[in-house]
Amino acid sequence: YRELEGIVINTFQELEPFALSSLSRSLSPPVYAIGPVLDLNGPIQWHPNRAQQVAIMQWLDQQPRSRVVFLCFGSMGSLSVPQVREIAAGLEQSGQRFLWSLREPPKGKIHLPTDYSNFNDVLSKDFLERTAEIGLVCGWVPQVTVLAHPAIGGFVSHCGWNSILENLWHGVPIATWPVYAEQQMNAFEMVRELGLAVEIRLDYREGSDLVRAEE
């Protein structure tokens, strides 16, 4: 890569001054921080269920300003059934309004997460009925559109880089829950280095304990 004339990255000086300064002093090709580069319209084409998107936005329109916690773990993110049930219990116990993008884990190594055909298969009995007045559980969501909605007051995120930039753009408080890959480093940076997020979890290593409902 030393033969390259430059590297373009999606960040900006105010967010990562130390990292960019370190790169500028190294022997690597020059690094150009051109961010934040955002698709503020959202990738609508990824999901054909237009009716679901309309229903989500109509539900948000009915909620008080800055009172809804948005839980979303990315297009590739999913959680185990025991962890899903702990989250559900925590949401119900809190009484907090919520919008939860819940997706089924991949069925094989080459597959991607999909929307559940029936949320009752994974959630505790009657959870949807008991929380109908305060919450909405759905599949894939247009994340950037949801973050822009005035009803959103908090974001529980997997800390993918695009999600972090979208969140910072819209100024929504974030709680970190990395799931895989570089998300753990992103979460650490947001919580420990920048002080721009609070920690639910920083370590996604296999075998770590469940995050309990009380947390």
Cα separation, 55 vs 70, whole angstroms: 15
Evaluated on CA atoms 112, 116, 122, 124, the torsion sign reads positive
pTM, entire model: 0.89
Claim to verify: residue 54 and residue 30 sit in the same structural domain: no
Residue 206 included in any domain: no
Tokens for 50, please give them: 């237009």
For 123-181, write each residue's pLDDT tens digit.
Answer: 988 999 999 999 999 988 889 999 999 999 999 999 999 999 999 999 999 999 998 88
Residue % of the chain over a pLDDT of 70 = 89
For the chain, first and last CA: distance in Å? 44
Claim to verify: residue 144 and residue 101 sit in the same structural domain: yes
Claim to verify: residue 21 and residue 51 sit in the same structural domain: no
Question: What pLDDT, on a 0 to 100 scale, did the predictor assign at position 160?
Answer: 94
28: CB partners within 8 A, 6+ apart? 1, 2, 7
Claim to verify: residue 114 and residue 12 sit in the same structural domain: no
Cα separation, 74 vs 140, whole angstroms: 9
Claim to verify: residue 119 and residue 158 sit in the same structural domain: yes
Claim to verify: residue 51 and residue 25 sit in the same structural domain: no
Claim to verify: residue 15 and residue 119 sit in the same structural domain: no
Range of the domain at 8: 1-37
